[in-house]
Structure 1
Amino acid sequence: MSDLHVRLATVEDTPLILQFIKELADYEELLSEVTATEAILRKTLFEDHKAEVIIGEVDEQPVAFALFFSNFSTFVGKPGLYLEDLYVKPEFRGAGFGKQLLAYLANLAVTRDYGRFEWWCLDWNTSSIEFYKRMGAKPMDGWTVYRVDGDALTDLAAKNVL
């Protein structure tokens, strides 16, 4: 198998990015939750610059992607890199491409003088959990993720008394 070439995505990659998102969602059994469209991604990623994407290619064929953005740690006093999604097509897994994507992002975080590199992983995804641990990642025990979305988000926003 050939080497992986990693590059930053461009606006022309928008259909590919949506395809990768849907493949990942299908793998996670969450495809019905995908509401992203090419138009939304184009605006959010390439006009508003709210997140970035890298594409991994083998022989110019896209085989992997990662979507990430900056967050901020008040304790460290620096931004961090938050990995939202990492996906390698099933037929290309086990070749070290996930490790290469993580290393690329870690290098980006170091280059940008970020203090952390973080992500979430589904509890049932034991193969990914073990992979991340082998890369030096530590699970953050004692923390619970909370989310407000949909009607609950709208309702909470309506409570704003400013």
Structure 2
Amino acid sequence: MKQITVNTYRKDKYYPRVVQAIGEILIHTDVVSPVETLIAMGNLSQKNYEAWRKGKVPFLERVFEGNLSKANRILRIIGFHAHDLNMLPKITHYHKWGKGKKVTLQFSKSGNRKLEEAYSRHYLWNQSFEKKQKIIETMMAEQNAAADRGELTAF
């Protein structure tokens, strides 16, 4: 497994896709979640996400499209990128949708606390609207330049 650190995450092959996904999410809202980012990147389908939320899937990683080391790398990159954007982290609890007892949902088979927190950590935009617009424009310009150079791969 490739180790993602604060010094290497921008060189990771998933970094451009994470930046693009977060940019697209920030266009519509001030909250970025790892689950939303995985959906925007194409590593989690809306259908599978909804099945997990309804309790039909025991843990989210079962329906992740890709291997689990890829998921862990993406989670780390999301955290580093959100930190660079000065977004505030906040743990959010996910509960089963529907009637009946509100069961807390699990993201991983192991239930490892740190991994569960990484999946459930939302990042809140806490700066001006103008700064948000400037950041989004910069991220999209970087992505367009990378695409022109052939550095972006398809989702």
Q: TM-score, normalised by structure 2?
A: 0.26
Indicate the structure (1 or 2) with the bigger Cα radius of gyration: 1
Higher helix share: 2
Higher strand share: 1
Tell me which of the two structures has the higher relative contact order, counting C-alpha pairs closer than 8 angstroms and 6 or more residues apart: 2
Q: TM-score, normalised by structure 1?
A: 0.25
